[in-house]
Structure 1
């Protein structure tokens, strides 16, 4: 399925649109039960902390339970200032309206291998009967090298087909020890959104969206089997694209 590319005038406008999408997809569950959302770190934390709580204060929002789970995490025991889970706990979770979501994050105290095994088991418990967890919505970022979650170019984990969570101890981006969802989980989601801002990402955005490489970058390997793939870009990240895009307010 081809990706739908939306371009926004600024990170703030992108953040508002992303928050609106999350709120709309949660509301669309209606009385169908839990809404499952996979979260990445980096700039997404700040975007969601600023824009998602206001989007969820609308009176039409149903009080359906949410499941929040991390797409990847840095593994460092103790009070790690780089922990994605810590950033979400401090900046976003206290602002979310009731009912409080169920939150699943890797346990860094177990080390990378132990954390991956434990996180995988808890995800399977959260998605009973499913060989691969199917998230309603996954929010992904993009590195200048084309990595997403903690899946890096040329890394062995790009070939993983069995495990739903994997550990790595050789991340080219520090810290080296991490836990990540694998491509089978990313490609099973009902909707995947890449949220990308900044001029430094423009070359890799063009390479992924306009290229046809024999050995594609990790983010280019995210192609949901039966779901939809959306790219939300700010004007700076989209500046090198020549393909048709949907431009939003302010452009």
Structure 2
């Protein structure tokens, strides 16, 4: 695991962009394609700032969603909808809609933490609204070559402590790529005095 503490949110975004650019370049050279999973939340703002600045062949990218809310794509809570608006509709980066792979599944109440026999699982009790989602499970995440957590702000400091210092039994502590690399990119406020 690599923990990178930087000065501020802008530096988190910059370092995230560099890591994605390098990973994409290596993957395209080796495999002819780059597969990446996007999550929602604050990562949307980080990626919509970082990706237009990187040098890459976006035609070789295939984007999956690590977590998708079960809402229409026009809903502001839709992960796919937010990225589609930010990248495709705006033309900010040269991505096409068929490069986004949106996984849909009926919601039947499985919990992410207990699912080990499926790559994608539906949940109906997400702690954040909306409660119904479709999410990648740990077998998928832990088979990635690179997993990245990027966060900023003092409001994240308590969670950074729980995950990186106290090693509490939380979803983030279960992300541990078997033969890949795990990165945490955090700003000084999120690191607080813990890192």
Q: Same fold (TM over 0.5)?
A: yes
The Cα RMSD (Å) is 2.3
Are residues 81 and 226 of structure 1, via their aligned partners in 2, closer, same or farther at CA, if it must alter by over 3 Å? same
Question: Structure 1, unaligned stretches of length 5 or more?
Answer: 117-154, 243-251
Q: Distance in 2 between matches of 1:101 and 1:35?
A: 14
**2:12, 2:187 within 8 Å by CA — same for their partners in 1?**
yes
Which residue of structure 1 aligns with residue 13 of structure 2?
Answer: 15
1:151-201 CA distances to partner (integer Å, 9 max, x unpaired)?
A: xxxx84312110100111122211111110011111110110001111111
Runs in 1 of length 4+ with deviation above 2 angstroms? 61-64, 97-101, 110-113
TM-score between the two structures when normalised by the length of structure 2: 0.89
Corresponding position: 1:70 with 2:65 = yes
Q: Distance in 1 between matches of 2:151 and 2:22?
A: 20
Q: How does 1:154-169 map to 2 (within 5 A)?
A: 156-169=111-124
Which residue of structure 2 aligns with residue 80 of structure 1?
Answer: 75
Which residue of structure 2 aligns with residue 32 of structure 1?
Answer: 31
Which residue of structure 1 aligns with residue 190 of structure 2?
Answer: 237
TM-score between the two structures when normalised by the length of structure 1: 0.70
Q: How does 1:200-211 map to 2 (within 5 A)?
A: 200-211=155-166
Deviation of the 1:99 alpha carbon:
7.7
Higher helix share: 2
Q: Distance in 2 between matches of 1:98 and 1:170?
A: 32
Secondary structure of 1:112 counterpart: coil
Deviation of the 1:229 alpha carbon:
0.6
May I ask how many residue pairs the two structures share in their alignment? 192
